[in-house]
Structure 1
Amino acid sequence: MSLRKAYFLIFILLLVDQVSKIYVKTNFVLGEEVTVFNWFKIHFIENEGMAWGTKLPGEYGKLFLTVFRIFAVAGIGYWLWDSVRNHKSSNYLIVAIALIFAGALGNIIDSVFYGVIFNESYQQLAVMFSEEPYGTWFHGQVVDMFYFPIIKDFPMPEWVPFIGGRPFTFFNAIFNVADVAISTGVGILIVFNKKAFHKGDA
């Protein structure tokens, strides 16, 4: 795969990711939910930290996380360029790197810019390019919206370790297009490991 095709894939993913986030951000109040199917809902939340809502402690935790992501994406971008230009790597590897790069960059855009572009979403619809932004540069929150509660509030037997006796929901994560891209890219590297790291066309 050429760099041009990889860049086009990244562009399309970023476009879909940002359009979906901006739409949800400007049309949903924080916490609002719309049921598409019983097993698929659009549920607007904002993620302040890493995956699964994990946060870094301290005043500069969010800033450190955002800066770290920027350096990580720069490294992934170089990996993509190097794989295409110097090693003629398999298409499996190039597509996987492009997916991971697009997803990581999509969430970085939220972290870097959304805090100064949008106002607060709590109990109101956010306005783009607001005069009263909710945050500062590098302190934006990542917009998540896809929720697939395939099994919801299933009563787990008492004997099940850790979660026994409590209602169980599968799949409980709420995510976005960027997260899907990253997960798919990582999945390709795991499932098609031998093909991904085989030199030459796949």
Structure 2
Amino acid sequence: MAKSKPIAAKSSSGGGLAPWLGIATIIILLDQISKITINKTFRYGEDLLVTSFFNITLAYNKGAAFSFLQHAGGWQRYLFTGIGIAAAVYIVYLLKRHAGQRMFCWALALIMGGAIGNVIDRVLYGHVVDFLDFHWPTIGHFPAFNIADTAICIGAGLFILDELRRVNK
């Protein structure tokens, strides 16, 4: 009688990588489709008033969040592209190790999808395409952002929530 081979053990947390890569891919697709649509529909700087507190506008960001290093001379494009690629590679590693930790992996998948969405912009255009413009009369305009930025922020929020939940256990 032949011995049966033991079933290969999954990572200690169980689960697989595919669902999380699928979520990141959906974010990338939504982000890129929205940016292509805005680029084809608007001229740079053009605004469409949607509500009293929200515009759609075509803006370019050569820097990072809140236009950090926007006017640094061009080297920042390569720095932020490298950081985005390195972050995506590290996130794939973390997803493999912790594929069964749902909230943690949701956070990582959203962050990775957003990071890759913005890396694609930097490679294709030399800047990130932003178009969501919120503003309040007493405060003014919040810096324009996009779906990738939104995914990164939601992912960061989930990451913090997951850590707080883990600490409280």
User: Match of 2:77?
Assistant: 62
Task: Please give the alpha-carbon distance, in whole angstroms, between the structure 2 residues aligned to 1:196 and 1:25.
Answer: 42
User: Match of 2:55?
Assistant: 41
Q: Give the match's secondary structure for 1:61.
A: helix
Q: Give the match's secondary structure for 2:142.
A: coil
| Structure number with higher helix proportion | 2
* 2:157 counterpart letter in structure 1: G
User: Structure 2 length normalisation: TM-score?
Assistant: 0.81
- Please tell me whether residue 145 in structure 1 is matched to residue 159 in structure 2: no
Task: Please give the alpha-carbon distance, in whole angstroms, between the structure 2 residues aligned to 1:146 and 1:99.
Answer: 18
Q: Give the match's secondary structure for 2:59.
A: strand
Ranges in structure 1 where 5+ consecutive residues have no aligned partner:
115-139, 155-167
Ranges in structure 2 where 5+ consecutive residues have no aligned partner:
1-14
Distance 1:63 1:32, change over 3 A: same
What is the root-mean-square deviation in Å for CA atoms of aligned residues?
Answer: 2.2
User: Match of 2:159?
Assistant: 189
CA contact (8 A) 1:92 1:195 kept: no
Cα drift, residue 82 of structure 1? 2.1
Q: Give the match's secondary structure for 2:49.
A: strand
CA contact (8 A) 1:147 1:174 kept: yes
User: Match of 2:149?
Assistant: 179
CA contact (8 A) 1:93 1:197 kept: no
Task: Please give the alpha-carbon distance, in whole angstroms, between the structure 1 residues aligned to 2:166 and 2:121.
Answer: 30
User: Structure 1 length normalisation: TM-score?
Assistant: 0.69
CA contact (8 A) 1:17 1:177 kept: yes
CA contact (8 A) 2:133 2:145 kept: yes
* 1:53 counterpart letter in structure 2: S
Q: Give the match's secondary structure for 1:29.
A: coil
Cα drift, residue 196 of structure 1? 5.9
Task: Please give the alpha-carbon distance, in whole angstroms, between the structure 1 residues aligned to 2:65 and 2:84.
Answer: 12
Distance 1:141 1:196, change over 3 A: farther
Distance 1:24 1:11, change over 3 A: same
User: Match of 1:95?
Assistant: 106
Distance 1:7 1:65, change over 3 A: closer
Displaced runs of 4 or more, over 4 A:
none
Cα drift, residue 108 of structure 1? 0.3
Q: Give the match's secondary structure for 2:63.
A: coil
